[in-house]
């Protein structure tokens, strides 16, 4: 099965492609067509090990370019689309919601439209799959004591980012119901691991800690999040793609819930052992509480019972061991962080340009 993976040069998308190709084996003939616009969040260096692999075809382009997507689907005889492409940083969505609407909503609709026309033209609707990667944030803030969200929980997005993802989810379901497109949706909790953009909490904290700068803590730091290693997330998406039932959705979570403050203190503790500071100082002394994010949700949580019971998926990384290995990766790859930070500052493209014409 040839795949079209959107946003494949990003953090989660690149790990998915890497694990998919390694799982298929070097002798497999199935291709992964990696469509990525290469904004500040996508970097071809994330897939350097597959740069010359004929199974990996990179195409720089926009998911909103319906003509390009249609051509790729036909040319490569695509049997499934895995949609990772998204504007995903909540702070950026607060500063400027428009790029999130363009990419996450309009871009997803155009991708769906191209997929629907491809299935109609080839008669392959029954075997085709459109897997859309969503987020726990569409379910909104869960008060303490309320059970984790399930696949049937009501949507209650509370940030422009979450609202744009919720809208995209509704479009995916609508195309499944109206046109018979075989769609799948996955929700995931917070991811961590190698190659994550340093604007996200864990790599940002590590970067600032190592540079001796203040490590910002939003508000009181008691916001609760679940943390999932990116490799476990990629494996879950593979499981859903291969065995998930069309029209269904699956929540992916580790159940490892910490407050942001607890997480940052754990990171500091691990760093204290790996790279001790002079004079017995502790990295936790660099934690500084700053003004909270507007509308900051207190708690997200997902119940992974469905994917575990139906598809047999389980996490393979404990949080402490996963964080420990993640810190080791960043400490041994300072050039990656430097290059990504330089590209981030050089690029002001947040998807603010006009979408390609239909």
pTM: 0.94
- Show me where the domains of the chain are located: 2-192+228-255+300-316
The question of whether 310 is a catalytic residue gets the answer: no
Catalytically annotated residue among 36, 62, 109, 161: 161
Which residue among the candidates 136, 169, 232, 235 is catalytic per the annotation? Answer: 136
pLDDT range class, residue 26, cuts 50, 70, 90: confident
Would you give the DSSP letter of residue 118?
H
Categorize the per-residue pLDDT at 242 as very low, low, confident or very high, splitting at 50, 70 and 90: very high
Residue 214 scores a pLDDT above 60: yes
pLDDT in tens, 74-107: 999 999 999 999 998 898 899 999 999 999 999 9
Distance CA 32, CA 86 (A): 19
Residues with Cβ < 8 Å from 120, sequence gap 6 or more? none
Point out the catalytic residue in the list 36, 65, 109, 137. 137
Q: Which of 43, 6, 103 is nearest to 354 (CA)?
A: 103
Q: Is 262 a catalytic residue?
A: no
Q: What is the pLDDT of residues 130-150, one digit of tens each?
A: 999 999 999 999 999 999 999
| pLDDT in the model for residue 339 | 82
65 is catalytic: no
Burial grade of 356 (CB within 10 A; 0-12, 13-18, 19 or more)? middle
37 against 342, higher pLDDT: 37
Task: Tell me the CATH number for domain 2-192+228-255+300-316.
Answer: 3.40.50.720
Find how far residue 332's CA is from the centre of its chain. Answer: 23
Q: What is the pLDDT of residue 24?
A: 85
State yes or no: pLDDT of 296 exceeds 90. Answer: yes
pLDDT for 315: 97
Q: Is 278 exposed, middle or buried (0-12, 13-18, 19+ CB in 10 A)?
A: exposed
Give start and end residues of each alpha helix (H) in 244-297: 260-274
Interatomic CA distance for residues 52 and 212, integer angstroms: 39
Region 53-69: mean pLDDT is 96
User: What is each CA distance from 201 to 85, 127, 326, in whole angstroms?
Assistant: 20, 39, 13
> Using an 8 Å Cβ cutoff, are 300 and 142 in contact?
yes
| CA dist list (Å): 206 to 212, 273, 312 | 10, 14, 34
Residue 355 is predicted with a pLDDT of 63
Average pLDDT over residues 285-313: 97
pLDDT at 311: 98
């Amino acid at each position: 099965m040839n795949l079209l993976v959107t946003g494949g040069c990003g953090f989660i998308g690149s790990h998915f492609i890497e694990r998919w190709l390694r799982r298929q084996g070097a002798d497999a003939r199935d291709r992964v067509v990696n469509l990525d616009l290469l904004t500040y969040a996508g970097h071809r260096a994330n897939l350097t090990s597959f740069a010359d692999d004929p199974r990996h075809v990179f195409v720089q382009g926009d998911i909103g370019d319906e003509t390009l997507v249609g051509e790729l689907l036909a040319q490569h005889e695509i049997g499934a689309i895995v949609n990772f492409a998204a504007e995903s940083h909540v702070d950026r969505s607060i500063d400027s919601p428009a790029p999130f609407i363009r990419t996450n909503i309009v871009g997803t609709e155009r991708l769906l439209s191209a997929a629907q026309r491809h299935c109609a033209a080839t008669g392959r609707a029954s075997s085709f799959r459109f897997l859309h990667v969503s987020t726990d944030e569409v379910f909104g803030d869960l008060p303490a004591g309320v059970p984790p969200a399930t696949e049937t929980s009501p949507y209650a997005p509370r940030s422009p980012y979450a609202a744009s993802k919720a809208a995209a989810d509704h479009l995916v379901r609508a195309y499944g119901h109206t046109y018979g497109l075989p769609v799948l949706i996955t929700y995931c909790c917070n991811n961590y691991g190698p190659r994550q953009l340093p604007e996200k909490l864990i790599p940002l904290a590590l970067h600032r800690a190592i540079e001796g700068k203040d490590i910002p803590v939003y508000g009181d730091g008691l916001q609760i999040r679940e943390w999932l290693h990116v490799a476990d997330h990629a494996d879950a998406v593979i499981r859903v793609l291969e065995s998930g039932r069309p029209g269904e959705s699956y929540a992916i979570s580790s159940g490892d819930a910490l407050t942001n403050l607890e997480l940052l203190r754990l990171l500091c503790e691990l760093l204290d052992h790996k790279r001790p500071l002079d004079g017995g100082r502790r990295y936790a002394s660099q934690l500084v509480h700053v003004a909270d994010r507007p509308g900051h949700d207190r708690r997200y949580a997902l119940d992974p019972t469905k994917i575990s019971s139906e598809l047999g998926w389980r996490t393979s990384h404990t949080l402490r061991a996963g964080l420990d290995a993640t810190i080791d990766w960043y400490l041994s790859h300072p050039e990656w962080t430097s290059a990504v930070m330089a590209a981030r500052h050089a690029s002001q493209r947040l998807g603010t340009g006009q979408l390609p014409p239909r």
